[in-house]
Amino acid sequence: MGRLVIVSNRVPDPRERNKPAGGLAVGLADALRGDQSTLWFGWSGRQVEADADPVPSLDTHGTVTYATIPLTPTQHRGYYQRFSNAILWPLCHYRLGLMDYARADWQQYLEVNRMFARVLAPLLKPDDIIWVHDYHLFPLAQALRELGVTAPIGFFLHIPFPPWSLFRALPPATALLDDMKAYDLIGVQTEEDAQNLWECLRVEGMTDPSRVVACPIGIDPVSFSEEARDAFEGPEVRRLRESLHDEPLIIGVDRLDYSKGLEERFHGYEKLLIRYPEHHRHVTYLQVAPVSRGEVEEYRLLRRQLDETIGRINGAFAAYDWTPIRYLTRPIARQTLAGFYRLADVALVTPLRDGMNLVAKEYVAAQNPDNPGALVLSHLAGAAPELDEALLVNPHDSDAIADALHLALTMKKEERKRRWNILNNEIRNTTAGSWARDFLKALNRTRKTSVG
Ligand code: ADP
Ligand code: F6P
């Protein structure tokens, strides 16, 4: 097997394994724990003024070489903040009203994709297989093909893909779809995303539906469960446990992003306190929400709004010895997080839309099989079709969230165990490793088909 070349906007810092940057970095890093020789190319996370293409910095750890490049502030704004995160992100999460289109951003996005291709092409070897990730890089394969690259190129979309009736609202929708035809294989998280994308690509003249596949990403459940067991005995979990005085804990863990339904979720928790007062002075809800994309206007507004909502709910319900919501906007070390999941009686995962949502799978992996917690999950998360033994809710319905929380907090151990066993089998069947292997096997087949 030739070398694997991964391309993504966000590349994890190999020295900071404990501080992940979201689902893409976590899922891929878990998938790469084999002996496959790999080049991982992407943005370094830095911004530097420059008037020529950057030279990549190379850093090898085990079988993976990380090749990263900085962006100029202008590129970062047009390509990352604006076109990727103020236009494509809301559109793909079905939030057309938040899409803030400007043609200059589209041009910058295309230009950065072409620059990625120019810098990557000289690093490629004849037998490479290339795997591009996420919405920042939709046009990359076409840009590479224009430079003469003939290697198989696959693409995986970590976020949802909307139907044509919505996607066509993007002014350059057809140009973008046309570029995507340069991929040999495109993977998405769910059957719904696959149908939507296929519908769009068919409009653009693609004829072979087998080039779009649903291939849900997973985690590494065995190692995550071990981390949770170890962290459970550690000082952070001990301090959290002592602070709860044997009372129940609900946990939420999400980047601070409007797609995660945080505002709606807090309303659901408020409804729990209103409609089920028996939980007053007992239950605690810990929400960990590290700040994300803080330069994008909509994210700044959300942060202010959440500060206000949480302040209001705590002000209305707190007692001098009880705070209903504890709220952290810092990232937490991954291992500590695993221990917190294990301690929590309930996980509240209610995105309004989500490509997959790895937090739901991590919560399941972290549980104690003898006394597992309950998962309340949005039916609009990509994880919902696999994790349908969770308590599924509509994230827009605060009363439904309140009812599900009450049910989770009062559920008998036998029922929790029954549900958890089914959920745990699911996350052990489709792991990060099997996801990558299945996708790459299918991508490799496209090489054989086109050669033979
Ligand atoms: P997204 O990719 O949209 O951020 P996911 O739920 O798929 O959503 O993935 C988020 C990943 O980031 C998970 O692996 C989660 O554990 C991690 N994560 C989220 N918040 C934190 C945090 N505060 N500290 C550490 N890791 C976090
Ligand atoms: O999983 C979706 C995703 O957008 C990834 O592409 C991204 O790396 C992650 O969320 C975190 O976002 P960002 O890279 O913008 O910090």
Residue type (1 letter), 243: S
Q: What confidence tens digit (pLDDT) does each residue in 268-323 have?
A: 999 999 999 999 999 999 999 999 999 999 999 999 999 999 999 999 999 999 99
Q: Which of 423, 427, 373, 377 is nearest to 401 (CA)?
A: 377
Q: pLDDT digits over 131-145, tens only?
A: 999 999 999 999 999
Residue 9 CB contacts under 8 Å (≥ 6 apart), including other chains: 42, 43, 80, 84, 133, 134, 136, 137
Of 123, 116, 118, 122, residue with least CA distance to 138: 116
Alpha helices in 279-378 (DSSP H): 297-317, 334-343, 358-366
Expressed in angstroms and rounded, the spacing between residue 15 Cα and the centre of ligand 2 is 19
- Please answer whether residues 23 and 49 qualify as being in contact, where contact means their C-beta atoms are separated by less than 8 angstroms: no
Number of C-alpha atoms within 13 angstroms, CB side, residue 283?
22
Secondary structure of residue 350 in the 3-state scheme? coil
**To test ligand 1's pocket by mutation, which of 19, 157, 219, 253 has the most ligand atoms within 8 angstroms of CB?**
253
Q: How far apart are CA 85 and CA 296, in angstroms?
A: 8
159 lines ligand 2 (CB under 6 A): yes
How remote is the CA of residue 209 from the centroid of ligand 2, in Å? 27
Cα–Cα nearest to 435, from 254, 188, 192: 188
User: 212 - beta bridge partners?
Assistant: 186
| Largest distance between two CA atoms of the chain | 74
Ligand number with the minimum distance to the CA of 366: 1
- Quickly name the fold that domain 4-218+432-451 has: Rossmann fold (3.40.50)
Contact 340, 326 (CB under 8 A): no
Per-residue pLDDT 10s for the chain (452 aa) are 689 999 999 998 877 756 555 778 877 877 777 788 999 999 999 999 999 999 999 999 999 999 999 999 999 999 999 999 999 999 999 999 999 999 999 999 999 999 999 999 999 999 999 999 999 999 999 999 999 999 999 999 999 999 999 999 999 999 999 999 999 999 999 999 999 999 999 998 988 889 999 999 999 999 999 999 999 999 999 999 999 999 999 999 999 999 999 999 999 999 999 999 999 999 999 999 999 999 999 999 999 999 999 999 999 999 999 999 999 998 899 999 999 999 999 999 999 999 999 999 999 999 999 999 999 999 999 999 999 999 999 999 999 999 999 999 999 999 999 999 999 999 999 999 999 999 999 999 987 665 43
Ligand closest to Cα of 92 equals 2
Residue 323: count of CB within 10 angstroms of its CB: 14
Ligand 2 pocket check for 337: Cβ under 6 Å = no
* 221-429 has the same fold as 4-218+432-451: yes
Q: CA 378, 158, 375 angle in degrees (round to 5)?
A: 25
d(CA 133, CA 307): 33
Q: What is the secondary structure of 277-296 as a DSSP string?
A: GGGTTT-EEEEE----STTS
Tell me the CA–centroid distance for residue 154 and ligand 2, in Å. Answer: 19
Domain boundaries, the chain: 4-218+432-451, 221-429
Which amino acid does the sequence have at 15?
R
| Nearest ligand atom owner, CA of 292 | 2
Query: In ligand 2, which atom is closest to the CA atom of 85?
Result: 15
Measured from the CB, is residue 292 less than 6 Å from ligand 2?
yes
- In this structure, what token pair is assigned to residue 257? 């992003």
Residue nearest to atom 9 of ligand 2 (CA): 22
Four-point Cα dihedral 191, 143, 153, 12, nearest 10: -80
**Atom 22 (ligand 1) nearest CA:** 331
Ligand 1: nearest atom to the Cα of 332: 24
Q: In a mutational test of the pocket of ligand 1, which residue from 9, 93, 358, 387 has the highest number of ligand atoms less than 8 Å from its CB?
A: 358
Report the phi/psi class of residue 412: left, alpha or beta, with left for phi > 0 and alpha for psi in -120 to 50. Answer: beta
For the entire predicted model, the pTM comes to: 0.96
> What gap in Å lies between CA 451 and CA 26, rounded to an integer?
34
DSSP three-state, residue 124: coil
How far apart are alpha carbons 165 and 170 in whole angstroms? 10
Please report the atom of ligand 1 found closest to the CA of residue 21.
12
- At the topology level, CATH places domain 221-429 in Rossmann fold (3.40.50)
Among the bound ligands, name the one nearest to the CA of residue 81: 2
Tell me the catalytic residues: 158, 354
64: left (phi over 0), alpha (psi -120 to 50) or beta: beta
257 lines ligand 2 (CB under 6 A): no
Q: How many CB atoms lie within 10 A of CB 106?
A: 20
